[in-house]
Structure 1
Amino acid sequence: MSHQQVSLIAINAGDVASLNQGEYLLERFSWKSIGLIEGKPAYQLNDVRMWIFDDGILFEDSIDKRWSNQTTEIVREVIFPSRHSAASGKPSLTLHPIGVPQLAKDEQPKFGGKAGFAPPPSTRLASWWKMLHSHTKDATVADKFELTLEVTHHGPWLDVPAMFIEIGSTERDWPNRDAAKLLGDIISEGMALDGGSNIGLWDPVSNADELVLVTLGGGHYAPRANKLALVDGVWLGHMLATYALPFVKPENDTEPPGGTWQQSIDSAISATKQAFPNGKIICSMDKKAFRGWQRQAIRDYLLQQRIPLLTTKQILEALGK
């Protein structure tokens, strides 16, 4: 193997939703086995690689570097087909970036990742979110599964753009082969496994100065991003839920709020900039998710960092909508 740039699909064989997506892709296209990498089966098709892990993926840190160390190929992104768990039990198909930027850096993440940091978000999030909607319209799963983005959460840690693409939300839904086929089709079309054009890759020259959205506040299912990422011209970076912006109220108004909210914003914006070089990073805030003093602290901090904080109306106006 060479120093070729490749995209990596990481499959968790202990997760039926992940395995079904992987098997569907292997059956649909003529992959070539490249033997075992770290003792795990691996396959190649064009500039895409598939790596099958035995059981569990959230703590498999640095698989981009590990692949490169074994093959000398340079991993440019990682896509993680997966299951999604939710207490609501609602059947759902989801996409999300990864990271735990809100955790104190000496904390041990319960679900993987590097405390206080987030890997770069996949540049494909917004385009694949649009594809998920268009593919689901006439699909057999249309009436059964709701579509949603999720905010940035859990591991593993990587240095390259990453995204989870998931089937949820219970043991009843995870084995659904129609859902696996639908997500597999999005992966295959998006990554040009059929020989077409890649969908959602960022070009620092041709995409320079285009809007890249980071959302702040709201619940785990990113209602603000769900709507805005469907708008043509919007690229999507990290999404931070209210719980990922922990504030501690100061004893008097002259002191800045405590907590790791600034660290979380810094990590999310830095990682998004890394994924979208030359992009115009903007933030959008769910005002109702915060108290007044928290909103003001966020506004002041973003102003200090020279990151525009825009309303939905302002974003649409900037896009000429």
Structure 2
Amino acid sequence: MVTLIVSTTNDPASMGPASALLAMPGWSPTTSFEGMRSYANGEVRMLQHDQSIVKEDNLDIRWEELSHESVDNVIFLSKHTAATKRPALTVHPIGVPHLKEGDVPPQGGKPGWAAPPNPRMGPWIHYYGGYTSWTCDNIGSTLEYWKREDVAQLVWEGLGLGGGAAVGEWDRKENVWVGHLLSGYSLPMDDPGQSKVEDAKGIDGTWKEAIRAAFEATEIAFPGGEILAHLDHKSFKGWQKKAVTAFLEEQNINIGKPNDFKA
């Protein structure tokens, strides 16, 4: 099983960490892949090209078909932007579960789909000390921060390329796994124009589909595990919280308490 790291020269937050990572020992160039430069280091493969990362759908399948190597996970190095311009180093699963079939995702991806969250994300959170999830590494939110190379060190140590144990080679004794985090824009809800909402009926929008997609993806990633939903009460208006709570109960998705999410 190999891990693919994907970078692009047209994104400074991708190129900086990629260059720093390749400057570390153990890398050797390999045969190019679909025109992308390719490097190997143990069970890790680095792909580097000059195009947009968001166009690389099904990269794991394409790699397996041409190289005959099974892919365990894919890490995309990319930038992050935020209106607050607050710098952030994050790792998170990809997906646009709130979009409808036929919608054109602004940053790539498959509408209505979410990637199964990688089990490594939880340990990477505690190891690096940031607020993370998995599959895309972002550093932001401005050019000043995109040039930093923090991600390279995270990936280097996280994957065990420095000779130590990979962070995330663990079993269920950790107790708590990390799944999808759905931001407000991922739960689009039409305001019912009423102050009282007792259930989710009549609240239009694709928020239900987004919750279902995130739940199903998490269920695939952690078979047999108990999946709990955590609601950030400060992020919801009263009627939104009631609607989401009612829908979770309807779908038999348990709502956890804060202590349930502590390992």
How far is 1:148 from its partner?
Answer: 4.2
Deviation digits for residues 59-118 of structure 1, max 9, x if unmatched?
Answer: 211111111121111111111222222333333322222111011122111111111111
Tell me the equivalent position of 2:142.
170
Matched, 1:189 2:157: yes
Distance 2:223 2:4 in 1: 21
- Partner amino acid, structure 2, of 1:304: E
1:19 corresponding residue in structure 2: 15
Cα shift at 1:250: 5.4
Measure how far apart 1:303 and its partner are: 2.2
Greater share of strand residues, 1 or 2?
A: 1
Matched position secondary structure for 1:285: coil
TM-score (norm 1): 0.73
User: Which of 111, 115, 118 lines up with 1:115 in the alignment?
Assistant: 111
Which runs of 5 or more structure 1 residues have no equivalent in the other structure? 134-146, 151-161, 211-231
- Output the CA distance in 2 between the equivalents of 1:106 and 1:98: 19
Q: Deviations over 1:146-172 (max 9, x none)?
A: x5448xxxxxxxxxxx51122211122
Please tell me whether the aligned partners of residues 285 and 311 of structure 1 are also in contact (alpha carbons under 8 angstroms).
Answer: no
Q: Please, which runs of 5 or more residues in structure 2 have no aligned partner?
A: none
- Quick one: distance in 2 between partners of 1:297 and 1:118? 22
> For the Cα contact (< 8 Å) 1:101–1:115, is it kept in 2?
yes
1:82-161 matched pairs, under 5 angstroms: 82-133=78-129, 147-149=130-132
1:256–1:297 Cα contact (<8 Å) kept? no
Q: How many aligned positions are there?
A: 259
Relative to structure 1, the CA distance from residue 291 to residue 171 in structure 2 (aligned partners, 3 Å threshold; closer, same or farther) is: closer
Alpha-carbon offset, residue 24 of structure 1: 1.6
Deviation of 1:263 (Å) = 0.5
Secondary structure at the aligned position of 1:82 is classed as: strand
Structure 2 partner of 1:238: 180
Q: 2:69 aligns with which of 70, 73, 89?
A: 73
Paired AA for residue 223 in structure 2 = P
Q: Secondary structure, in 3 states, of the residue corresponding to 1:237?
A: coil
User: Could you tell which deviates more after superposition, 46-55 or 192-201?
Assistant: 192-201
TM, length-normalised to structure 2 = 0.88
- 1:194 deviation in Å? 2.2
Cα displacement (A) at 1:307: 1.9
Distance apart, 1:23 and its partner CA: 1.7
Distance of 1:251 and 1:292 partners within structure 2? 12
User: Matched residues in 2 for 1:56 and 1:288: separation?
Assistant: 35
Q: Relative to structure 1, is the Cα distance of residues 166 and 256 closer, same or farther in structure 2, using a 3 angstrom cutoff?
A: same
The structural deviation recorded for 1:187 is 0.7
| Distance in 2 separating the partners of 1:314 and 1:189 | 29
The partner residue of 1:294 within 216, 221, 240 is 240
| 1:308 equivalent in alignment to 2:250 | no
Aligned partner of residue 205 in structure 2, secondary structure: coil
SS at match of 1:263: helix
Q: Give per-residue Cα distances to partners, 1:263-306, cap 9 Å, x unaligned.
A: 10011111112222222211100223223333233223222332
- Residue 236 of structure 1 aligns to a residue whose secondary structure is coil
Measured at CA, do residues 273 and 169 of structure 1 come closer, stay the same or move farther in structure 2, by a change above 3 Å? same
Q: CA deviation at 1:191?
A: 0.8
User: In the alignment, residue 189 of structure 1 is paired with which amino acid?
Assistant: E
Matched AA of 1:185: Q
Other structure's SS at 2:146 match: coil
Contact 1:125–1:200 (Cα < 8 Å) also in 2: yes
- Name the aligned partner's letter for residue 97 of structure 1: P
Corresponding residue number in structure 1 for 2:211: 265
Counterpart-to-counterpart distance in 2, 1:53 and 1:167: 19
Distance apart, 1:315 and its partner CA: 4.0
2:166 alignment partner, one of 198, 202, 208:
198
| Matched residue type, 1:106 | G
Cα distance, 1:196–1:246 mapped onto 2, change above 3 Å: same
Hey, what's the Cα distance between the residues in 1 that align with 2:224 and 2:169?
A: 14
* Residue number among 190, 210, 223 corresponding to 1:248 in the alignment: 190
- Aligned to 1:22, what secondary structure does the other structure show? helix
